[in-house]
Amino acid sequence: MIKIVTIVGARPQFIKAAPVSKAIASQQGLREVLIHTGQHFDQNMSEVFFDQMDIPRPRHFLNIHSLSHGAMTGRMLEEAESIMIKEKPDLVMVYGDTNSTLAGALAAAKLNVPVAHVEAGLRSHNMEMPEEINRILTDRVSRILFCPTKAAVNNLTREGFAEFPCKIHLTGDVMYDASLLFADKARKPAKVRLPAHFVLATIHREANTKNPDNLANIIRGINQVAEKRAVVFPIHPRTYKVIHGNDLPPLSKKIKLIEPVGYLEMLHLLQNSQLVMTDSGGVQKEAYFFKKPCITLREETEWTELVDAGYNKLCGTTPDLMTDAARDFFAEAPVFQQGLYGNGNASAKIAKALSDS
CA distance 133 to 143: 18
Nearest CA-CA partner of 346 in 182, 176, 172, 183? 172
In one-letter notation, the amino acid at residue 112 is N
Annotated catalytic residue 236: no
> What order of strands is seen across the sheet that includes strand 255-258?
255-258, 230-234, 198-202, 275-278, 294-296, 312-314
DSSP 51-120: HHHTPPPPSEE----SS-HHHHHHHHHHHHHHHHHHH--SEEEEETTSHHHHHHHHHHHHTT--EEEETT
Q: Which SS3 state, helix, strand or coil, does residue 294 take?
A: strand
Residue ranges of E strands in the chain: 2-8, 30-36, 60-61, 91-95, 115-118, 144-147, 167-170, 198-202, 230-234, 255-258, 275-278, 294-296, 312-314
Q: Give the dihedral of Cα atoms 295, 297, 302, 307; nearest 10 deg.
A: 30
**Active-site choice (204, 236, 244, 268):** 204
Please say whether the beta carbons of 78 and 108 come within 8 A: no
Give the catalytic positions in this structure.
Answer: 204
